[in-house]
Structure formats: structure tokens, C-alpha cells
């Protein structure tokens, strides 16, 4: 999960100014946490404390109203509605990484990812994006190879992971849907050589950079293991105290530092 937060921080400054290169300053003064981090930690909070997810998502939205939410989520979170709104945006995938770290079986991962998605993103593609991301994290942290992860995602979710980043990158543009951003984020992980390389590759697509780096970062953290200390320090310095506390609680409980 820490890898998802770091990815969000790194990608945040490129959402409105996309780049097509892996060569950039990793932690710039303009890097900040966005809705990706806020809602990831809302999911982590419900896992740690057993709270109701709808209540927690709305609570976190009201605590951090300027984090950069999508219009559909913002309208839902600010309203009295508790019903989902059939979204297939990548918000379901960006917040799901805690599930991949907390669950003990692939079956549980798929079920819990569905649950975290469908409170808002009950469209089949919204659920699929969350399940694909969470299952990639689970498979990565339980020792599966990249080829095994690729095969599972392609078979289970019918995502095309055969196109290389070099082929995707030139014409790729901002796309905040699950089908238009999650496969590309997974491909960035599959082509990577390290955690940092994975996030750099996700940003270099020039798309929804904070969210794709968040998705890629969660998978890469699970695969490559312990995050560099400097990255943990960046998270500590850029999150406020309540967000730091839930990050620490979750990561200590599920050994995902």
C-alpha cells in the first residue's frame, strides 16, 4: 500500500502537465497527496477498524475536500445518497491496494475488491479494474512471477497486456476509465526493473499520471518488497498526522512497509 501512496505523490504534479519520459525529478516540491491517497487510506481504515466503507469514504472526502476527486465521486460523497452511481472510472482501482496486502487468499481478494468497488463503481468494468489491480498485488506479494501475473490478468479479466509501453506511449492520452488506464498501469509494472522504474514508466505514459502511478506503485511494492527508506520518509513528510497514523497502523499490521 505504501507503494501506491508514493506513486500518487510522484505522479501528482504531472496530471495536468503530462510527460512522455522517465527522466524527471522524483520528489519535486510540487508533489502532493491526492484523492488516490485519501481514498486508499479510507479503504485501509475500514480494513483495520471494521468500519462501514460508505461512511468512511464520505468522512474522508469531507476531511479532505480539495484532494482532486472526480466529479461523480464528489457529487456522491457530498450527497446523502448511499447508492452507487455505475462508474467505471479508475477510482475503484486506485484505492484498492490495501485489499491486495490484507487478504489471505485470491478468492478473498476478488471478493473484497468487488466490495470496495461496488459501493460507487458498480459497473462491471469498474469492478474488474479493482479486482485486476488487487489480484496483481496479491499474486506479486505471494511470490508469483511476472509471467504468471500477466497470464492470470489476461485470462481472468481479458485485459490485453501484450502491447509494449513503447507502442502504447506515443499516442496514449489521459484516460480516467478502468479499461483505458488499468491495463497500461499493469504493463508499466510488468516491464519494470525496480519499484522506482515501475513508477517512472507509469508516469511516462502521459496519462492519468497520479492514478496510474498509484496503481503501478502498489503492484511494484508487492513484487519488489521493502520500499527504500527515502520513500517512506517522503510519505511521512507529505501526509498530515491522521493519514500518517492510518498508514503506519495498516503497514505494521500487514507487514507492508
- Decide: helix, strand or coil at residue 89: strand
CB 178 within 8 A of CB 93: yes
Here the cell at position 58 is 464520505
Supply angle C-alpha 146, 149, 154, rounded to 5.
125
Q: Enter the DSSP assignment of 21.
A: -
User: Which tens digits make up the pLDDT trace of 114-133?
Assistant: 999 999 999 999 999 999 99
Residues of the chain under the 50 pLDDT cut: none
**So what's the pLDDT on residue 1?**
87
Dihedral Cα 110, 113, 118, 122, nearest 10 deg: -60
Please count the CA atoms within 13 angstroms of the CA of 80 that sit on its side-chain side.
Answer: 0
| Report field, pTM of the whole predicted structure over 0.75 | yes
What is the per-residue pLDDT for 54? Answer: 98
Task: Give the pLDDT confidence score for residue 226 in this predicted structure.
Answer: 85
Q: With beta carbons less than 8 A apart as the criterion, state whether 45 and 98 touch.
A: no
- Cα dihedral 66/96/14/182 (nearest 10): -140
- Counting the structural domains of the chain, the total is 1
Say if 53 falls within a structural domain.
yes
In a domain, 257, yes or no: no
Is residue 42 assigned to a domain? Answer: yes
Task: Count the Cβ atoms, other than its own, within 10 Å of residue 227.
Answer: 22
Residue numbers of the domain that contains 72? 2-247
Backbone angles phi, psi at 228, to 5 degrees: -55, 140
Task: Tell me whether residue 255 is in a domain.
Answer: no
- Does 14 map to a domain? yes
Measured distance CA(99)–CA(108) in Å, rounded: 9
* Residue from 62, 66, 110, 57 nearest 85 by CA: 57
Report the CATH number at residue 89: 1.10.4080.10
Residue 211 lies in a domain: yes
CB count in 10 Å sphere of residue 130: 33
Eight-state DSSP code of residue 227: P
215-242 pLDDT per residue, tens: 999 999 999 998 888 998 999 999 999 9
Is 24 inside a domain boundary? yes
Does 256 map to a domain? no
Say what the pLDDT of residue 25 is.
Answer: 95
Q: Count CA within 13 A, CB hemisphere, residue 211.
A: 31
d(CA 8, CA 23): 17
Amino acid at each position: 500500500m505504501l507503494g501506491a501512496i508514493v506513486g500518487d505523490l510522484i505522479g501528482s504534479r504531472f496530471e495536468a502537465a503530462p510527460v512522455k519520459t522517465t527522466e524527471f525529478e522524483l520528489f519535486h516540491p510540487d508533489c502532493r497527496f491526492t484523492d488516490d491517497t485519501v481514498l486508499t487510506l479510507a479503504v485501509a481504515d475500514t480494513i483495520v477498524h471494521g468500519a462501514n466503507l460508505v461512511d468512511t469514504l464520505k468522512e474522508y472526502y469531507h476531511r479532505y475536500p480539495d484532494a482532486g476527486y472526480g466529479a461523480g465521486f464528489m457529487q456522491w460523497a457530498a450527497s446523502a445518497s448511499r447508492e452507487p452511481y455505475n462508474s467505471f472510472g479508475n477510482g475503484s482501482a486506485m484505492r484498492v491496494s490495501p485489499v491486495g496486502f490484507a487478504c489471505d487468499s485470491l478468492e478473498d481478494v476478488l471478493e473484497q475488491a468487488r466490495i470496495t468497488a461496488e459501493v460507487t463503481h458498480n459497473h462491471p468494468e469498474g469492478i474488474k479494474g479493482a479486482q485486476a489491480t488487487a489480484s496483481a498485488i496479491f499474486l506479486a506479494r505471494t511470490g508469483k512471477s511476472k509471467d504468471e501475473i500477466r497470464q492470470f490478468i489476461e485470462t481472468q479479466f481479458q485485459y490485453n497486456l501484450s502491447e509494449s509501453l513503447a507502442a502504447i506511449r506515443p499516442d496514449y492520452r489521459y484516460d480516467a476509465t478502468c479499461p483505458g488506464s488499468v491495463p497500461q498501469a499493469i504493463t508499466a509494472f510488468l516491464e519494470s526493473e525496480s519499484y522506482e522504474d515501475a513508477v517512472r514508466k507509469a508516469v511516462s505514459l502521459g496519462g492519468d499520471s497520479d492514478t496510474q502511478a498509484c496503481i503501478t506503485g502498489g503492484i511494484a511494492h508487492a513484487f519488489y518488497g521493502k520500499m527504500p527508506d527515502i520513500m517512506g520518509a517522503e510519505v511521512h513528510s507529505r501526509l498530515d498526522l491522521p493519514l500518517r497514523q492510518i498508514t503506519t497502523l495498516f503497514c505494521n499490521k500487514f507487514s507492508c512497509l
